[in-house]
């Protein structure tokens, strides 16, 4: 039995082991893997998840047991320090030696650290391993600001980690733009603007001369004479291939680093291969996981088969989300490979930039850049990869169909069988179609298990889903939209079952119409359905729609809660203002006026919540449902009451509307607004429903939203009276509740609704389905059964007793800590300077 040793237990080293054991004849090798870290291989692609709740176990590619189950000797915490190519032996730092027949160098890379004076100071970190991350997290607890050197992919990932730690973040980039290898000036400029909107300071064209501080970092000094005071530094300016072992045993390395390999991934020693970031093929080091997986596959093929496919380089297209901003770069993004024409679309209001480069004859797509919206990335990338013809009007690819035309863009069905759907695992369209038609894989988990498609970065999942649905339809199979593996029903079907069968608990629905124990997908979705159908107290449910529902308040940083009483239409009396002030002073709460014309009280202990609510209720307040997937606010301007331009009483109408729909539970949160004239001071056209006054009545707009992907509401009906407007809102909201998918805002729901606004208007205004009266009756039921959830808790001793930090004692949480700021308090270590 031949012996294979793998040096390096990163993602690529693990993938080699997985593919070797899965290959025919792959079990005929004795396989030993050395990893210098204490953990088995873990997912570096999603390393930033470590800062938002994931632990080392969550990130593992496979548990330690997997290695023993597959007869793989895994030796962690053991570093190979020398290779003897003559005797074919490797030696570890523990003084142990092992013989090999084939040696796989998957040593990966280390963080590149520029030669900056003072880099050894305390508070300076690199962003590479879990140990690095542990150090960053620990040190970050005593810091309020941090800089990241590097504005590329790795640097922005590190910046996200800094943001997740709650620190003031600075990104320092030597080049004149962010992500210079992937984005052009315009795309980079838009990305910079979006990151700055998130509170991240961007410093471009900056060359760091020195890290200042007396043993401990206090700031960065740049060659242009400027200085940036910070308390922590993360260097994420690129990678350096780990090729020191290769150099030590006389293997050739590239001038810029990396172990030189041929098209078969062999070094100059035919029994030694190099894969992943340690390898240099034609002076190129590949820093993405997909080419590393492809290298692993090719080496496995050579070990077990005579059918050898050479490695011919790899496309470096990439799609990712950087701190909530979607970015994509594919093919030839800058149009440098051959003469080309460029088509650009830019929407600075929505924060979207799209560029495609097409051939001079307008027949082929060469590459492009996407910022802010990467929804069509997969198809564009496929068009480049497969040399597919362009539509008659190429701009349709980034603008969509216009002027009533049908879209000319190609769908997944038009791809050739050889099209690579999953680049991480090199899975083609044909592989997936065969798994469905011949392998009987009728769902996404089955396809993943059979082909491994979608198990890497996950960027191909939308295309895999489209391909599954298309293939099932072509086979004459019904494509059914089910909630999850535990319910073979859609949300709409479950809502009907709940109503028809009178089901009022999750357990009852699961027992009668589901299977298994449920999951984090179906539990909140069913909770939403039950709340939207029966309008009962959310605390009495077996499961809840949202974590905040558990205490009828929003949990905030530091472990405290915020209290948001309802202030319909933004109108409040002086007496009520005084009560809010008195409550805030009594319980030491931070107060802030929200964007929805309410007052938010932050910093409440969980055991104080019922007491706070009781005082507010006694003053005439009620729950504002800021914690629920429900109606939040109906914002208003002063309208004709005070404004000389107002043509209708916006405040009175907003109060009426908000009091009608208060507490209404839905698939997602709902916001409304009423403007007293076309000057639109209440910003009604950015809301789920917006009402704008006219001389004749009201114009009703629906399906808008703000947030990360803002969308203007669309006009549903114009010049209607008070009663008609409310009737149409009743129908619209109930139709949305009955037909939307879980966690879909009204804007997303409308975008997916077949027929769009024309169909929605037909249902709501023209009553084409004949369900208008039924929708109105269902809304009347919601209005009649409304009860303030805070008041229910205040008046129920059993429920009130649940509001405490610990289940077994009545003590307060001793870990709560605050610091002063501008005369109020905030959670300690929130990243804001201490007030004096």
Annotated binding site for siroheme: 681
**Beta-carbon count within 10 A of 405 CB:** 10
Binding residues: 637, 643, 677, 681
The alpha carbons of the chain give a radius of gyration, in whole angstroms, of 30
Helix residue ranges, H only, 441-517: 444-451, 461-474, 491-501, 506-513
Helix residue ranges, H only, 177-288: 185-197, 244-248
Among 647, 653, 657, 587, which residue's Cα sits nearest to residue 616? Answer: 587
Cβ neighbours of residue 346 closer than 8 Å, sequence gap 6 or more: 186, 190, 352, 353, 354
Among 661, 714, 656, 719, which residue's Cα sits nearest to residue 688? Answer: 714
The first and second tokens of residue 681, run together, are 């001071």
Q: Which own/partner pairs from 130-138 qualify as long-range (CB within 8 Å, at least 24 positions apart)?
A: 130/37, 130/39, 130/42, 130/47, 130/50, 130/56, 130/59, 131/37, 133/47, 133/50, 133/51, 133/161, 136/161, 136/165, 136/232, 136/234, 137/51, 137/165
677 by Cβ neighbours in 10 Å (0-12 / 13-18 / 19+) ranks as buried
Give dist(CA 225, CA 227) in Å, integer: 7
Q: Where are the beta strands (DSSP E) in 8-127?
A: 30-35, 72-76, 80-84, 89-92, 97-99, 102-105, 109-111, 124-126
Among 527, 522, 519, which residue's Cα sits nearest to residue 550? Answer: 527
The first and second tokens of residue 164, run together, are 């997740």
Angle 186-189-191 from CA coordinates, rounded to 5° = 110
Binding residues for [4Fe-4S] cluster: 637, 643, 677, 681
Angle 336-338-340 from CA coordinates, rounded to 5° = 85
Cβ neighbours of residue 109 closer than 8 Å, sequence gap 6 or more: 239, 240, 241, 242, 277, 278, 285, 287
Question: How many residues are listed for the chain in this entry?
Answer: 836
Among 538, 510, 534, which residue's Cα sits nearest to residue 523? Answer: 510
Q: How many C-alpha atoms does 103 have within 13 Å on its Cβ side? A: 28
Angle 483-487-488 from CA coordinates, rounded to 5° = 85
| C-alpha distances out from residue 377 to 288, 373, 395, 497, Å | 18, 9, 14, 38
Give dist(CA 82, CA 86) in Å, integer: 12
């Amino acid at each position: 039995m031949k012996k294979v040793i793998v040096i390096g237990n990163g993602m690529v080293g693990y993938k080699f082991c997985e593919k070797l054991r899965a290959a025919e004849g792959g079990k005929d090798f004795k396989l030993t893997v050395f990893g210098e870290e204490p953990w088995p291989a873990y997912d570096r692609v999603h390393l930033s998840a470590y800062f938002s709740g994931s632990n080392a176990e969550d990130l593992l590619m496979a548990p330690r047991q997997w290695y023993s189950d597959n007869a793989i000797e895994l030796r962690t915490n053991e570093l190979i320090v020398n290779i003897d190519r003559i005797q074919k032996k490797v030696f570890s730092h523990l003084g142990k030696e092992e013989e090999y027949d084939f040696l796989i160098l998957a040593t990966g890379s280390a963080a590149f650290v520029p030669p900056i004076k003072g880099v050894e100071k305390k508070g300076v970190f690199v962003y590479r391993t879990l140990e690095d991350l542990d150090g960053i997290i620990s040190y970050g607890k005593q810091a309020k600001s941090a800089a990241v050197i590097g504005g590329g992919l790795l640097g922005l990932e590190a910046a996200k980690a800094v943001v997740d730690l709650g620190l003031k973040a600075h990104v320092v980039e030597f080049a004149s733009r962010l992500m210079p290898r992937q984005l052009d000036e315009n795309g980079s400029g838009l990305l910079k603007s979006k990151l700055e909107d998130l509170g991240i300071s961007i410093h471009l064209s900056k060359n760091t001369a020195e890290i200042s501080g007396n043993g401990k970092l206090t700031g960065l000094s740049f060659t242009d004479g400027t200085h940036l005071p910070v308390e922590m530094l993360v260097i994420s300016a690129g990678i350096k291939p780990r090729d020191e072992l290769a150099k030590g045993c006389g293997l050739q390395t590239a001038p810029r680093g990396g172990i030189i390999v041929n098209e078969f991934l062999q070094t100059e020693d035919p029994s030694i291969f190099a894969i992943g970031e340690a390898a240099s093929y034609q002076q190129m080091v590949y820093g993405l996981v997909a080419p590393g997986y492809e290298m692993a596959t090719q080496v496995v093929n050579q070990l077990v088969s005579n059918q050898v496919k050479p490695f011919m380089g790899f496309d470096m297209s990439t799609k990712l989300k950087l701190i909530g901003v979607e970015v994509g770069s594919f093919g030839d993004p800058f149009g440098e490979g051959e003469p080309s024409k460029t088509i650009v679309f830019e929407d600075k209001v929505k924060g979207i930039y799209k560029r495609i480069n097409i051939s001079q004859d307008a027949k082929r797509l060469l590459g492009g850049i996407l910022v802010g919206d990467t929804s069509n990335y997969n198809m564009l990338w496929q068009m480049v990869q497969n040399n597919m013809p362009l539509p008659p009007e190429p701009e349709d690819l980034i603008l969509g169909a216009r002027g009533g035309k049908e879209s000319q863009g190609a769908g997944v069905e038009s791809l050739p069988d050889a099209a690579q759907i999953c680049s991480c695992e090199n899975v083609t369209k044909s592989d997936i179609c065969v798994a469905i038609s011949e392998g009987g894989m009728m769902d996404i988990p089955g396809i993943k298990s059979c082909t491994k498609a979608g198990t890497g970065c996950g960027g191909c999942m939308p295309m895999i889903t489209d391909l599954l649905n298309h293939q099932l339809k072509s086979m004459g199979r019904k494509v059914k939209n089910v909630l999850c593996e535990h319910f073979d029903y859609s949300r709409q079907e479950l809502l009907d079952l709940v109503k028809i069968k009178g089901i009022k608990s999750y357990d009852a629905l699961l027992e009668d119409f589901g299977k298994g124990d449920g999951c984090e997908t179906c539990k909140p979705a069913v909770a939403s359905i039950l709340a939207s159908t029966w309008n009962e107290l959310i605390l009495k449910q077996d499961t809840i729609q949202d974590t905040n529902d558990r205490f009828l308040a929003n949990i905030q940083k530091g472990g405290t809660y915020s209290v948001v009483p309802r202030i319909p239409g933004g109108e409040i009396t002086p007496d009520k203002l005084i009560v809010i002030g008195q409550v805030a002073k009594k319980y030491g709460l931070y107060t802030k006026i929200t964007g929805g014309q309410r007052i938010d009280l932050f910093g409440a202990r969980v055991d104080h919540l019922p007491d706070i609510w009781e005082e507010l209720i006694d003053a005439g307040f009620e729950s504002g449902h800021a914690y629920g997937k429900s109606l939040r606010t109906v914002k208003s301007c002063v309208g004709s009451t005070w404004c000389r331009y107002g043509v209708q009483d916006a405040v009175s109408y907003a109060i009426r509307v908000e009091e009608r729909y208060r507490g209404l539970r839905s698939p997602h949160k709902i916001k409304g607004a009423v403007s007293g004239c076309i000057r639109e001071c209440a910003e009604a056209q950015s809301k789920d429903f917006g009402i704008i006054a006219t001389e004749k009545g009201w114009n009703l707009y629906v399906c808008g939203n703000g947030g990360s992907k803002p969308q203007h509401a669309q006009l549903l009906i114009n010049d209607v009276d008070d009663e008609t407007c409310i009737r149409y809102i009743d129908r619209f909201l109930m139709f949305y509740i009955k037909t939307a998918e879980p966690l879909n805002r009204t804007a997303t729901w409308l975008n997916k609704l077949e027929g769009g606004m024309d169909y929605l208007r037909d249902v709501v205004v023209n009553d084409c389905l004949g369900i208008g009266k039924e929708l109105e009756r269902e809304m009347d039921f919601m209005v009649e059964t409304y009860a303030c959830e805070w008041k229910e808790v205040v008046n129920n001793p059993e429920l009130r007793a649940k509001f405490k930090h610990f289940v077994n004692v009545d003590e307060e949480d001793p870990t709560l800590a605050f610091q002063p700021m501008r005369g109020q308090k905030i959670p300690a270590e929130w990243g804001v300077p201490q007030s004096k």
